[in-house]
């Protein structure tokens, strides 16, 4: 990681690529065309394809039969997580995702429930407007709304809504302890608790 954190281009292993001078006159340009045409570069490529075909070592992903594994920080269609302890929903209805959403595509309705707690009665994301920026996941204080790996959004209409039920981790997945935590922005960074100032307690 260290090497990437250093953004000073002047030092380290950077060097200028040797680029041929661009032709400035017509004759020069003509010469370059002739040179490139008869160099046979095309056949280099064709040969590689032929070689790999014969070897049967195909690198192309056979989408949609085959899919690439998605990185844990990939930001596709949102998911709503449940609490590990009780399997209940993490979302407390604070409305921060709704507020921070720069394309204004999140809306929620809340009410007070029978246990005097704030309950989210409805929650929608308009995927037609969502730009998958990840702010909602980052701002969520409960790690409730996150991004998932579901990127197949093709639809016959531009507006495509997902609601709370759709996004919520299914209870059977939860029972199998199969819920995946999101590791992108908004997730807890390692060693977070070492950096927190402890509040004194009188117990």
Partner 1 sequence: MSKIAINIDGKEIETQEGEYILNAARANDIFIPAICYLTRCSPTLACRICLVEADGKQVYACNAKAKDGMNITTSTETIEKERRAIMEVYDVNHPLQCGVCDQSGECELQNYTLEIGVDSQTYAVKDVDRSAHDWGHLHYDPGLCIVCERCVTACKDMIGDNSLKTIARGADPLNAEFKESMPKDAYAMWNKLNKSVIGLTNGTDVLDCTSCGECAAVCPVGALVDTHFMYKSNAWELTQIPATCGHCSAGCQISYDVKHTSIENPEDKIYRVMNEWNYVSLCGAGRYGFDYQNADVIKDEEAFEKAVEAFKKADTIKFTSTITNEEALILERLKEKFGYKLINDEAKSFQKFLHDYSDISGTRLYGSDLKEMMNSNFIVSVGTAIKTDNPNARYSLNNSLTVNKGAALYFHPLSDPIIDGLGKNILSVNHKPLQEESVLYLLLDLFADKEKLPKEITEYLASFHSMKTVTVTETIKEKVVEIVKEKKVNEETGEEEEVEVEKSKMVPKKVSKEVEVDDNRLLTILGINDKFNETLEKFLKKKDSFSLVVGPDLYNHPNSKNIARLVALLEKYSEFKLVMIPTLTNTLGVSLINELSDEAGSYSIGYNTKGDFTLSALGDGDLDMPAINQQEGTLTSINKRVNPTNQAIGYGGYELNDIAKALGLELEETIDYTKELPTHRGFSAVAFDDLPDYYTNAGEEIRGYVLKNMGRRVSADESVNTIDETLVMENDIIYLANPVRQFTDFTKKTTNLDEESGVYMSEESLSKSDFNEGDAVVVKTANGELTSKIVSDNKIAGDIVVLPTFDSNLNSEALVNGYRFATASIKKV
Tell me how far apart the alpha carbons of residues 154 and 162 are, in angstroms, rounded to a whole number.
13
Pick from 172, 117, 116, 170: which is nearest to 148 by CA? 170
Q: Interface residues for partner 1 in 122-151 (CB under 8 A)?
A: 122, 124, 141-142
Q: Tokens 């008869």 correspond to what residue?
A: 38
Residues 6+ apart with CB under 8 A from 183: 72, 73
Near partner 1 by CB under 8 A: residue from 51, 99, 175, 180? 99
Q: From the CB of residue 46, how many other CB atoms can be counted at a distance below 10 Å?
A: 11
- Please state the closest distance from residue 45 (CB atom) to partner 1, in A: 54
- Please state the closest distance from residue 109 (CB atom) to partner 1, in A: 5
Site membership for partner 1, residue 154 (CB under 8 A): no
- Please state the closest distance from residue 166 (CB atom) to partner 1, in A: 14
In 3-state terms, what secondary structure has residue 17? Answer: coil
- The smaller minimum CB distance to partner 1, of residues 74 and 105, is found at 105
Contact criterion met (CB below 8 Å) for 68 and 61 = yes
- Please state the closest distance from residue 110 (CB atom) to partner 1, in A: 5
The binding site for partner 1 (CB under 8 A) comprises 92-96, 98-99, 107-112, 116-119, 122, 124, 141-142, 197, 199-203
């Amino acid at each position: 990681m260290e090497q990437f954190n250093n953004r000073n281009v002047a030092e380290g292993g950077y060097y200028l690529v040797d680029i041929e001078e661009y032709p400035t006159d017509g004759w020069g340009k003509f010469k370059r065309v002739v040179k490139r045409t008869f160099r046979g570069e095309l056949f280099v490529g064709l040969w590689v394809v032929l070689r790999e075909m014969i070897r049967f070592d195909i690198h192309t992903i056979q989408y949609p039969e085959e899919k690439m594994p998605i990185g844990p920080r990939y930001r596709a269609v949102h998911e709503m997580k449940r609490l590990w302890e009780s399997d209940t929903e993490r979302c407390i209805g604070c409305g921060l995702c709704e507020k921070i959403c720069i394309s204004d595509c999140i809306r929620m309705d809340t009410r007070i429930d029978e246990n005097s707690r704030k309950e989210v009665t409805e929650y929608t994301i308009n995927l037609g407007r969502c730009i998958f920026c990840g702010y909602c996941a980052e701002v969520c204080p409960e790690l409730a709304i996150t991004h998932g790996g579901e990127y197949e959004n093709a639809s016959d209409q531009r507006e495509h809504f997902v609601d709370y039920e759709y996004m919520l981790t299914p209870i059977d997945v939860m029972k199998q302890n199969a819920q995946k935590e999101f590791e992108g922005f908004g997730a807890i960074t390692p060693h977070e608790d070492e950096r927190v100032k402890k509040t004194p307690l009188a117990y």
